Every structure is written in C-alpha cells, then in structure tokens.
Amino acid sequence: MIEEVKRIRLLHRRMGTRKLYEMLQSFMIDNQIKMGRDALFDLLAVHGLLVRKKDVLL
C-alpha cells in the first residue's frame, strides 16, 4: 500500500489523503485490502507521508 501511495505521489506530490483514498479504491479491491479512510490517514502518518498545509502569505 505504501509503495502504491509513493508511486502516485511521484506524479501528484501535493495530493491529500482523501483524494489518494479515492484513487486507491481499485488497487485495494484488486489486492483484497479492506481499509477505511481514517485507517489510511493513520498508516500515512506512521510512515511520514501526510501532506503538510502550506503557509499562505497575504
């Protein structure tokens, strides 16, 4: 799962977890992985793969 996230992030560096979750649905079905959105958040956090918010300068 982590390798698939890294593969997607090569093309979409700033893609958040919710959009990643939607993109990973077919991968999870093909590999018989049952994981919810919150579990994906936890997994990415453990591996340091959460996207940090950018500071907006006004």
pLDDT, tens only, 6-48:
999 999 999 999 999 999 999 999 999 999 999 999 999 999 9
The residue length of the chain stands at: 58
Rg over CA atoms, the chain? 12
Q: What three-state secondary structure class fits 45?
A: helix
Q: What pLDDT, on a 0 to 100 scale, did the predictor assign at position 17? A: 94
Answer whether residue 52 shows pLDDT above 80: yes
- pLDDT classification of 57: cutoffs 50, 70, 90: confident
